[in-house]
Amino acid sequence: MKLPTSYYQQDDVVALSRDLLGKYIFTSIDDIVTGGYIVETEAYNGIVDKASHAYGNRKTNRTSVMFQQGGIIYVYLCYGIHEMLNIVTSSEGQPHAILIRAVHPTDGIPVMLDRRRMAALKPNLTRGPGSVAKALGISRAINTLSLQSDVIWLEDRWLYFGDESIASAPRIGVDYADEDASLPYRFYVKGDPYVSKPNK
DNA sequence: GAGATGATTAGCT
DNA sequence: GCTAATCATCTCC
């Protein structure tokens, strides 16, 4: 079952990031379904978060997606090569977003291998945000698409991780954000091989 | 209209 | 571990 729009409209983006661990994400592109469950996320906490593109209520063509109401996706390009998948949350005017950093693949693995030009399944198939987007076939062409669409959506399959299986840590690659860089807004499943770097 | 920059990754040492 | 690759977007002139 798809998660309803109301799920994405909760105000507490940090709690939601934690809750997304274990939820399944799927894309159906060219009639091929690929996906798996989420094992690593990062929260971007609106206008007060220096690491967010929308910090200080900065609204531009690119970031205006985040100001829309929760339940859509925000895809953008970083370092000129990597496309990243974010889920927009909360209500209109609150630019909260959650970066999907890692997914544990379960469906359409051969297709994902092909997209990544890999011969065999290895943990780096969907480890790291750029890899996740590439493996799932996500590009800026589907930016702002609704999570109620038939192209990308999330499902709850009643997979839960207890507190003892989940760890939090500072976010990655946000050194420029001063004191906000050390906030524990990154959540991941302990010991999952698809989680990027420190996976204990 | 031009110049700086980054929510990264792969590949080499 | 470290560094290069690489370009859309933002900011300022």
Encode pLDDT of A156-191 as tens digits.
Answer: 999 999 999 999 988 888 777 888 888 999 999 998
Cα(A37)–Cα(A34) distance, integer angstroms? 11
CA distances from A193 to A81, A84, A101 (A): 24, 20, 13
Query: Of the candidates A152, A193, A185, A168, which has an alpha carbon nearest to the alpha carbon of residue A46?
Result: A185
Encode pLDDT of A23-64 as tens digits.
Answer: 999 999 989 999 999 999 999 999 999 889 999 898 888 899
Which bases on strand B have an atom closer than 7 Å to a protein beta carbon?
A: 5-10
Cα(A20)–Cα(A161) distance, integer angstroms? 10
| CA atom of A57 to C1′ atom of B6, Å | 19
Which residues of the protein are close to the nucleic strand C, CB under 7 angstroms?
A 53, 58, 60-63, 76-77, 79-81, 140
Q: Give the predicted TM-score (pTM) of the model.
A: 0.92
> Residue with CA nearest C10 C1'?
A60
| CA atom of A40 to C1′ atom of C2, Å | 25
The pLDDT score that the predictor gives to residue A199 is 47
